[in-house]
Amino acid sequence: MKIKRCFPLISIGVLILALGCNGPEKPSDLPKLYPCKITVIQDGKPLEGAMIFVRPPDGYLRFVIGGKTDAKGVAVIKLDGQWEGVPEGEFYVSISKIVTPPGLERPDETTPLNERRRMQEQAAQQTKETVDPKYSDLAKTQLRLKVDQKAVNESYDVGAAVDLSMAELFPGRRAL
């Protein structure tokens, strides 16, 4: 008897979920996408938590293309973080893993300027890139991806881990 009384409410809830959970509507100019998974290996092991960015050779990006690796070192590549896949073409790939030490101080709007600068310099020294810039720097990357009307499963070995501070990678710039 209780089920009969709850049935209309359950039906309405299911209908709302079915209609309202489709996510954002795809833009009309979204190109055809082909499934793409990228596996990243570092020091002979899967690299978890690496950010992957994909860009065409001309540098023009209508959509952001990328993903983040899981515990197995695998990233599902998406456009704008929503639509799985990559359009047809040839691309540059950068792989970056930034490590920030726990408890790193971050300024807020009330932090005095001299203290803010100290915190930024400390962050620039302590925040580290663990992937060699020849793979992590999108302007210098040696990694390429070719997508031609089929699913892509690519694997990249980024060699040994490095320990480069943001201050070393970007001299003269402040972190945060």
Residue 118, pLDDT > 70, answer yes
Q: What is the pLDDT of residue 111?
A: 86
| pTM for this prediction | 0.75
What digits encode the pLDDT tens for the residues 5-43?
443 444 444 434 444 455 568 778 888 999 999 999 999
Output the CA torsion sign for 55, 139, 121, 69.
positive
Q: What is the pLDDT of residue 130?
A: 96
Mean pLDDT to the nearest integer, 48-52: 97
| Average pLDDT over the chain, rounded to an integer | 84
Dist CA 96 CA 67 (whole Å): 11
Domains in the chain: ranges and CATH:
32-169 (2.60.40.10)
Residue 172, pLDDT > 70, answer no
